[in-house]
DNA sequence: CTGTTAGCGCTTTCAG
DNA sequence: CTGAAAGCGCTAACAG
């Protein structure tokens, strides 16, 4: 025996049909009001709106999504949440989505393309309107789905490569290169690098490569180089600078892959009585507020994380269909001279 | 004329029916394999799995959600993403959700209950399995929906109040009170407070109230108090300490509502040649890593943000139905003595 | 500007 | 352990 209609439905959850009945219109008319789509007489709209308010109607997005084969969900895949960089990106995305009907679903990949692929596939089950992810490198399977899906795609942070649809970011190689040029020009000659395990972070590697290229051009090279296993952190930066100076006492500047670690470097200097810039240049990456609030503002490169997220989401909203032309947006970066290099 | 069946469907998007046909079973059997639910013969399962792999089948969660009136979405409403505290909470939630089928949908309320209400209602349209939000204060409408909804609810950060279902966090009043007792015991008597606009942040206010209560008990009071408009930041903390010392030069300790601002205070001390602790105690809240990496580790209270998020999500997953008893989990906090107070 | 009809892809219920 | 039938709540495509 077939179950009775609505047998398992929560009696106090009104549906669009209830709204329509109360307003004395058809379902589809009520639907048009809810979605603000199509021509509706003001009087009709008012009646439907009143019915919605009276019943406390909440649309069922699953039903809408099924019927229209599309959703208001935007999948966001980020490498990490520990690093403030990605919350900043997410903040930008969220800002662009406020006042729109779109909602971000977020996943964290731990910089692992296989995890990225797995999460991507599970997100696609929601028929998202768009997918945002970091970087231009994905597994072949992921790339295939991104290429062929009926959704917009934005690849963030990096623009050195061939995007699926939209890329928003900066050239990390160039940033590393400019770091090298800048520091050479300021008179530094004996370079050290205090990084983290690079396998996981394409962009840190690109900056590192750019830095080395600039040094090579100037007839220089990295005299010393240390890396921590595991995630980067301020305390790691502090210990790493101590270690690198023990091995190579003659350095006159040390470059870090990010501000967190560079601040650890500054803290080591304070602790060890080393005067930043005069005795040892310290250079970071990201341009975090806290680095600029220090007594000696950190010398670094300002990446525009919030802007990257915001620009990407805005671009994605411009058109539901993927345009014929790919878009690459370079948000650039600023060298912050600061007081530590 | 009615449209043809599947007329607008992407031809290369296989459905469960396609999988079933290829595997030579009925739809519902294929569905059981996909959901790992109900008894299935191993041989049947294997055939279905092979068909899924061959077709590259991705389930349509909207259809599933509609049919089962439930979803694998977990709504997460956070006050902010600027403050590292909430990305930490989110990280905890995400950690608990890894390896489960649940996916977080996130919204940002800007500490505004009306925005919280609006986002909550739009999230409920997805029939989430659970809702996670911050604090115990919501609009009456939001509270009504939370009470009556068919989903689990976790209210995070704060446990001083009456939760809807589960509360996970700590007593902020108590933390403020303990801060006061701790500092009085360490010999401080002339207290200043350098805060931010309190209207927006219930928990900072509770700590402030607790601090004042402890001082009152000791026959003391806040001699000076300054607040910044706008969001808290390190640079704001730095400027604020300068301002408060100008107005009340005799202070021997200044309490900040969080570590970000307290670090700004330290930076002002370094800049102005004031020795933290000896000449002026500085006390924060949160126990951020960066504060502990400083040459003088910040004196502060460690809040367990990651643990709060993780515990809440784990608890929520324990049972789909809301239990008769409410649960309050106190994750506590640690006083970090540090070197600045 | 409004309504009719069919169906989105899946899961529930109950029977075998 | 497997299947048949019905329907979740909404919207596309037309016609009026």
Residue B43 lies in a domain: yes
Confidence tier at B83 by pLDDT (50, 70, 90): confident
pLDDT reading at B7 higher than 70 = no
pLDDT reading at B198 higher than 70 = no
Distance CA A276, CA A102 (A): 47
The tens digit of pLDDT for each residue in B223-247 reads 999 999 888 899 999 999 999 999 9
- Measuring alpha carbon to C1', the residue closest to nucleotide D12 is A68
- Protein footprint on strand D: which nucleotides are under 7 Å from a CB? 1-15
| Same domain flag for B92 and B141 | yes
The tens digit of pLDDT for each residue in A5-63 reads 444 444 568 999 999 999 999 899 999 999 988 788 888 999 999 999 999 999 999 99
Q: Which of A82, A103, A238 sits opposite B122 (nearest CB)?
A: A103
Distance CA A124, CA B180 (A): 51
CB A86 within 8 A of CB A79: yes
CB B248 within 8 A of CB B224: yes
Contact criterion met (CB < 8 Å) for B84 and A81: no
- CATH number, domain with residue A26: 1.10.260.40
Q: From the CA of A16, how many Å to the C1' of D5?
A: 25
Residue A6 lies in a domain: no
Burial (Cβ within 10 Å: 0-12, 13-18, ≥19) of residue B118: middle
| Same domain flag for A270 and A182 | yes
Confidence tier at A198 by pLDDT (50, 70, 90): low
Distance CA B235, CA B268 (A): 9
Q: Give me the torsion for CA of A270, A274, A278, A283, rounded to 10°.
A: -60
Of A125, A139, A48, A59, the C-alpha closest to B126 is A59
Residue A9 is predicted with a pLDDT of: 43
Residue A337 lies in a domain: no
| Same domain flag for A53 and A111 | no
The tens digit of pLDDT for each residue in A241-290 reads 999 999 999 999 999 999 999 999 999 999 999 999 999 999 999 999 99
pTM: 0.91
Contact criterion met (CB < 8 Å) for B66 and A84: no
Q: What is the mean pLDDT of residues B29-47?
A: 88
Tell me the residue range of the domain where B194 lies: 172-303
Q: What is the mean pLDDT of residues B84-92?
A: 94
- DSSP 3-state assignment of B100? coil
Averaged pLDDT score across all residues of chain B: 92
| Same domain flag for B119 and B34 | no
- For B60, the closest chain A residue by CA position comes to A125
The tens digit of pLDDT for each residue in A91-140 reads 999 999 998 989 999 999 999 999 999 999 999 999 999 999 999 999 99
| Same domain flag for B181 and B277 | yes
Q: From the CA of B48, how many Å to the C1' of C5?
A: 35
From chain B, the residues in CB contact with A228 under 8 A are none
Residue B11 is predicted with a pLDDT of: 53
- CATH number, domain with residue B253: 3.40.50.2300
Q: From the CA of A52, how many Å to the C1' of C14?
A: 36
Q: Which of A10, A57, A81 to mutate to test the interface with B (most CBs of B within 10 A)?
A: A81
Nucleotide minimizing C1' to CA distance for residue B10: C8
Q: Which of B58, B106, B127 sits opposite A124 (nearest CB)?
A: B58
Residue A289, min C-alpha distance to chain B (Å): 7
DSSP summary character for residue B257:
S
Residue B1 is predicted with a pLDDT of: 32
CB A234 within 8 A of CB A294: no
**Please, which contacts does B269-276 make with residues 24 or more away whose CB atoms are closer than 8 Å?**
B269/B241, B270/A270, B270/A295, B271/A295, B271/B238, B272/B242, B272/B245, B276/B339, B276/B340, B276/B341
Confidence tier at B3 by pLDDT (50, 70, 90): very low
pLDDT reading at B38 higher than 90 = no
From chain A, the residues in CB contact with B9 under 8 A are 69
| Same domain flag for A164 and A246 | no
| Same domain flag for A139 and A38 | no
Residue A310, min C-alpha distance to chain B (Å): 14
| Same domain flag for A106 and A223 | no
Residue A61, min C-alpha distance to chain B (Å): 5
| Same domain flag for B192 and B278 | yes
Residue A338 lies in a domain: no
Residue B10 is predicted with a pLDDT of: 45
Residue B340 lies in a domain: no
Q: Tell me, letter by letter, the H, E, C secondary structure of chain A.
A: CCCCCCCCCCCCCCCHHHHHHHHCCCHHHHHHHHHCCCCCCHHHHHHHHHHHHHHCCCCCHHHHHHHHCCCCEEEEEECCCCCCHHHHHHHHHHHHHCCCCCEEEEEECCCCHHHHHHHHHHHHCCCCCEEEEECCCCCHHHHHHHHHCCCEEEEEEECCCCCCCEEEEECHHHHHHHHHHHHHHCCCCCEEEEEECHHHCHHHHHHHHHHHHHHHHCCCCEEEEEEECCCCCHHHHHHHHHHHHHHCCCCCEEECCCHHHHHHHHHHHHHHCCCECCCEEEECCECCHHHHCCCCCCEEEEECHHHHHHHHHHHHHHCCCCCCCCEEEECCEEEECCCCC
Residue B104: half-sphere exposure toward Cβ, Cα within 13 Å: 32
Q: What is the mean pLDDT of residues A128-154?
A: 95
- DSSP 3-state assignment of B203? helix
Residue A8 lies in a domain: no
Confidence tier at B43 by pLDDT (50, 70, 90): confident
Q: Which of A73, A270, A293 sits opposite B295 (nearest CB)?
A: A270
Residue B12 is predicted with a pLDDT of: 63
| Same domain flag for B184 and B288 | yes
| Same domain flag for B43 and B117 | no
Residue A253 structure tokens: 């500047």
> What is the total count of domains within chain B?
3
CB B340 within 8 A of CB B298: yes
pLDDT reading at A314 higher than 70 = yes
Distance CA B167, CA B202 (A): 15
| Same domain flag for A88 and A133 | yes
Residue B339 lies in a domain: no
Residue B129, min C-alpha distance to chain A (Å): 13
What b/e string do you get for B160-175 counting C-beta neighbours within 10 Å, with b at 16 or more?
A: beebbbbbbbbbbbbb
The tens digit of pLDDT for each residue in A73-91 reads 999 999 999 888 999 999 9
Residue A4 lies in a domain: no
- For B238, the closest chain A residue by CA position comes to A293
């Amino acid at each position: 025996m077939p179950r009775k209609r609505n047998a398992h439905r929560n009696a106090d959850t009104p549906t669009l049909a209830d709204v329509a009945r109360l307003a004395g219109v058809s379902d589809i008319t009520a639907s048009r009001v809810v979605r603000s789509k199509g021509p509706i007489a003001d009087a009709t709209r008012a009646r439907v709106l009143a019915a919605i308010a009276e019943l406390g109607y909440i649309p069922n997005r699953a039903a809408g999504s099924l019927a229209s084969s599309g959703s208001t969900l935007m999948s966001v895949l980020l490498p990490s949440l520990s690093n403030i960089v990605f919350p900043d990106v997410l903040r930008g995305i969220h800002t662009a989505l406020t006042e729109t009907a779109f909602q971000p679903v977020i996943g964290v990949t731990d910089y692992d393309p296989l995890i990225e692929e797995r999460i991507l596939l599970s997100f696609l089950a929601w028929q998202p309107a768009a997918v945002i992810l970091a970087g231009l490198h994905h597994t072949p399977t992921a790339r295939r789905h991104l290429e062929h899906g009926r959704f917009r795609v934005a690849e963030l942070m990096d623009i050195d490569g061939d995007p699926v649809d939209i890329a928003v970011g900066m050239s990390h190689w160039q940033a590393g290169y400019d770091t090298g040029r800048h520091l050479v020009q300021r008179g530094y000659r004996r370079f050290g690098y205090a990084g983290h395990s690079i396998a996981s972070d394409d962009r840190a590697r690109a900056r590192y490569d750019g830095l080395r290229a600039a040094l090579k051009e100037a007839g220089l090279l990295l005299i010393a180089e240390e890396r921590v296993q595991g995630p980067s952190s301020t305390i790691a930066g502090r210990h790493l600078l101590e270690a690198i100076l023990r091995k190579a006492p003659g350095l006159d500047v040390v470059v870090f892959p990010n501000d967190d670690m560079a601040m650890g470097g500054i803290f080591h200097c304070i602790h060890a009585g080393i005067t930043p810039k005069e005795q040892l240049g310290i250079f970071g990456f990201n341009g975090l507020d806290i680095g600029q609030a220090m007594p000696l503002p950190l010398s670094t490169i300002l990446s525009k994380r919030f802007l990257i997220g915001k620009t990407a989401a805005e671009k994605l909203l411009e058109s539901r269909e993927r345009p014929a032309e790919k878009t690459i947006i370079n948000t650039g970066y600023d060298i912050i001279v600061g007081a530590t290099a």
